[in-house]
Amino acid sequence: MHVSNAVAPTVRRNALGRSSRFRRRVSLFIGLLLLGGEGVLASPFGDSDVTRRQQGILTGMPFMAHVSARAYVDDTGRRMYFAKPPARIVSLAPSITEMLFAIEAGEQLIGVTDFCDYPPEALKKSKVGYANPNLESLLALRPDLVVTPNDFLKPDVIAKLEQLKIPVFILADKNVESIFAHIQTLGRIVGRSTKADAVAIELRREVTAIQQRVQGLPPVRMLYVLNSQPLITVGPGSFIDQLIGMAGGVNVAAKSATPYPRLSMETVLQEDPEVLVFPVGKAEGISESEQQSWRRWSTLTAVRQGRLRQISADQLNRPGPRIAQGLESLAGILHPDDPSENRIEQ
Amino acid sequence: MDLASSWTHTGAVLTFHRWVTVIGALLLTSVGVFALCLQFGATSVGLGTVARAIMHLVRGGEAETTSLETSEMIMIQIRLPRVLLGFLVGSSLAAVGVTLQALLRNPLADPYVLGVSSGSAVGVSMAMLIGIGSAFMLLPVLPLFGFAGGLLALLLIYRLAQSQGRLPIHSLLLAGVILNAILTAFIMFITSIMEPNRSAGLMAWLMGSLTAPGYPALSVFVLYALLVLAMLMHKAQSLNMLTLGEETAQSLGVETEGIKKQLFALTALLTGAIVSVSGMIGFVGMVVPHAVRLLIGSDHRLLLPASALVGGMFLAVADTIARTIMAPAEIPVGIVTALTGGPFFLYLLLWRKDRMV
């Protein structure tokens, strides 16, 4: 999950049902088989497939092995072909920026969002806005690839970019597993697959280690306060809800039907969280005074035991390479007495 | 002024007896509705639970479980203040709606038409933008910012609309509408530069939420709203005169300029406070007055208090639906007010048309 999608009130993750995943696989197969030899940055429109297929049949087959390595399908099932690794990439999410830097593709990154602040080098890149990016400054950067999440970006931005023949690669933040996949996909696109594989494997190892450590421990009830007034939290289907489970916690909003519900305060009192977790950060998060105002709910176990905890919003909310650190902090908050020695240094 | 004619001038005869009957019946219903709203919530805690808790205390048993304490907290610290706030906000919205519809002689007027609400909303948005939080040293900061913003907007509109000591209705309406547009654009600007998570929080707040502040802040709002409501009631007869047109009202001996200014100030002060505590809850202020007028006529001495009571019941019930229908999640109460109030109003309109044929 992305910083921003945390509360974007739309139908989102369901867009990728089983059928579309199947279709994606089929189309990948077809794409690999019938790819055109000249295929430089092919148009992502599905309609052009017909011509492409014919070209592929005529010219592509002998080069299949060569070209197929450069064919990619994004999370919305759109095909894309790169003759050579893109050198002018614009990232439209802090998490994507972090991934690109993690796989040492920072050089190829030329534009980022206003909220891309990690690593510090990201601050030096050109800014293009965020949920509603400035198309002119984006175009002025002459990008050969725009990588974007699909959750909060206005649909017309993607349509416009496609119209201008700028390839848009969409990464849907579904779950922790998709982070590993995204890192590897990006690695292959930018020509850093060895590094990307290493990053993804290491990240997976760290996440698994944390999971194993908390596995036997008694689960701890917690509430993640995304917004305090009115209360907005994370529910099933959200990325952070999954992290809570992985860190050995029980989300008190588990019964809500939406990923980012406005949870009723009555339910909070009844479910009685043992820990209140507040995200804090520069651009988002809950202010100190706001956190203190939670102390008036004196019957809560969390308040009685004084377990009001803060967590870096950037680490936990961004589905990027720092997710292990976020998970580690969360596990530490939930299980402070965990005697295990092998914690990951942050 | 001749008292007898004043009682009958709107057509429907308003007798003291009729006033007492209607208001009495509405008051009784309100009590019932209030209890009903207290009964339902996201949790199974109800009035019975509370009764048992009280019995338990009376019998002098040890306060055994935390769940008893939790039930009490849910009822006393969450549900009671929330229903109270909902009722009072609903009453205020409806009363302001009645007043503005008469004052501006415009059936589309609602509490948000004069731009004061946007002023309050800008105040709250600024507070959220600088991340000050909703409470500071136990002071409810958001309402204070909201109220300050509303006051500034009020003064601005007044300065813009008045000319040569007079307050022409059309300039008032125009100044309000334009200021509304400007301030709304400003709010949009603020949300667009905010980090998306935080702007989602702001949007949720603006869409209207009846999360009651603690009792100290709530009681300040209750006293304030009741005071302004009482003052509005006091002006009901002047409203009757104003609906006849300013010239007629003047010829009947009403000092219209003074009355207009007072009514503008009262409604603006109340609107600013409402938006500060509950965001923008649409529909109540526009539709409740019309619905009540259809049923009991347009004498403001009856219409104003009756609308206030009906508005209070309507919003309290709408909020009960909003906080239970998707439990444990809540939905913005404005959705419920529009979805239930709209069709009901259309039904009333049709029913009334049939009867008149």
A290 → closest Cβ in B134, B137, B195: B134
Which pLDDT does position B176 carry in this prediction?
Answer: 87
Amino acid letter, A286? I
Nearest Cβ partner for A256 among B41, B134, B329: B329
Q: Going by C-beta distance under 8 Å and a sequence separation of 6 or more, which residues neighbour residue A161?
A: A135, A138, A146, A168
CA closest to A153 among chain B residues: B196
Q: Copy the structure tokens of residue A266.
A: 């009555």
In whole angstroms, give the CA distance from residue B162 to residue B166.
6
Would strands A89-91 and B135-136 be described as parallel, antiparallel, or unpaired? unpaired
For residues B255 and B246, give the distance between their C-alpha atoms in angstroms, rounded to a whole number. Answer: 9
* A212 belongs to a structural domain: no
Query: Per residue in A296-343, pLDDT tens?
Result: 888 888 898 999 999 988 888 888 899 999 999 999 999 987 655 444
- Which residues constitute the domain of residue B144? 11-356
3-state secondary structure A90-148: EECCHHHHHHHHHCCCHHHEEEECCCCCCCHHHHHCEECCCCCCCHHHHHHCCCCEEEE
- How far apart, in whole angstroms, are the C-alpha atoms of residue B14 and residue A89? 75
Helix or strand or coil: residue A210?
helix
Three-state SS for A236?
coil
Same domain, A260 and A235: yes
Tens-place pLDDT, residues B185-209 = 998 888 888 777 777 888 888 888 8
A95 and A141 share one domain:
yes
Domain C-terminal end among A81, A102, A119? A81
Task: List beta partners, residue B136.
Answer: B139
Which range in B220-229, B237-246, B247-256 is most confidently predicted, on average pLDDT? B220-229
**CATH number where B206 lies:** 1.10.3470.10
Is the minimum CB–CB distance between A272 and chain B shorter than 8 Å?
yes
Does A231 sit within 8 Å of B196, measured CB to CB?
A: no
- Do residues A185 and A109 share a domain? yes
Shortest Cα distance, chain B CAs vs residue A270, angstroms? 7
**Does residue B68 lie in a domain region?**
yes
A2: in domain: no
Number of structural domains, chain A? Answer: 3
Q: Which of A81, A98, A119 is the endpoint of a domain?
A: A81
Give CA A326 to chain center in angstroms: 13
Q: Which of A188, A278, A205 is nearest to A240 (CA)?
A: A278
pLDDT for B7 equals 41
On whether both A322 and A255 belong to a single domain, the answer is: yes
Asked whether residue A12 carries a pLDDT value surpassing 50, the answer given is no
Coil, strand or helix: which one is A46?
helix
**Minimal C-alpha gap between A163 and chain B (Å):** 25
User: Is the residue at A99 inside a domain?
Assistant: yes
Q: Supply the range of the domain harboring residue A62.
A: 13-81
- Mean local confidence (pLDDT), B1-9: 40
Q: Are residues A89 and A192 in the same domain?
A: yes
Q: Does A174 lie in the same domain as A160?
A: yes
Distance (Å, whole) CA A168 – CA A148: 7
DSSP letters for A304-324: HTT-EEEEEHHHHHS-STTHH
Contacts of A213 (CB under 8 A, 6+ apart): A331, A338, A340, A342
Which H helix or E strand runs over A53? helix A49-55
Over residues B76-85, mean pLDDT:
88
Q: Are residues A221 and A287 in the same domain?
A: yes
Query: Which residue of chain B comes nearest to A296, CA vs CA?
Result: B214
Instruction: Give yes or no: residues A130 and A143 share one domain.
Output: yes
- How many distinct structural domains can be found in chain B? 1
| Residues forming beta bridges with residue A251, ordered by sequence position | A222
The residue among A203, A227, A259 that closes a domain is A203
User: Looking at chain B, which residue has its C-alpha nearest residue A152?
Assistant: B196
Which of A266, A280, A286 would best serve as a mutation to test chain B binding (most B beta carbons within 10 A)? A266
Report the pLDDT averaged over residues A6-17. Answer: 38
Read off the pLDDT band of B131 (50, 70, 90).
low
Q: Does residue A85 contact residue A103 with C-beta atoms inside 8 Å? A: no
Distance between CA atoms of B71 and A270, rounded to whole angstroms?
A: 8
Q: What is the domain-level CATH number for residue A151?
A: 3.40.50.1980
Shortest Cα distance from B94 to chain A (angstroms)?
24
Chain B residues with CB-CB distance to A284 below 8 A: 195, 197-198
A171 and A98 in one domain?
A: yes
Mean pLDDT of B218-228: 90
pLDDT tens for each residue of A83-121: 788 889 999 888 999 999 999 988 889 989 888 888 888
Question: A137 in a domain, yes or no?
Answer: yes
The answer to whether A310 contacts chain B (CB < 8 Å) is no
Kindly determine whether residue B135 and residue A255, on different chains, have CB atoms separated by under 8 Å: no
With CA atoms as reference, report the closest residue to B225 among B37, B81, B96: B96
Domain assignment present for A339: no
A&B contacts, CB < 8 Å: 145
Do A224 and A292 fall within a single domain?
yes
Q: Which residue has 């209070």 as its token pair?
A: B312
Q: In terms of pLDDT, which residue wins out, A289 or A10?
A: A289
Q: Which residue has the tokens 């289907």?
A: A237
Q: Do B204 and A266 touch (CB under 8 A)?
A: no
Together in a domain, A136 and A242: no
Please report whether residue A141 resides in a domain. Answer: yes
In a domain, B4, yes or no: no
Residue A67: inside a domain: yes
Residue B115 lies inside a defined structural domain of this protein? yes
Q: Are residues A72 and A94 in the same domain?
A: no
Domain assignment of residue A174, yes or no: yes
Contact A269 B70 (CB under 8 A): yes
- The dihedral built from the CA positions of residue B36, B38, B41 and B45, taken in this order, carries a sign that is negative
pTM: 0.74
ipTM computed for the complex: 0.75
Q: Has residue B2 been placed in a domain?
A: no
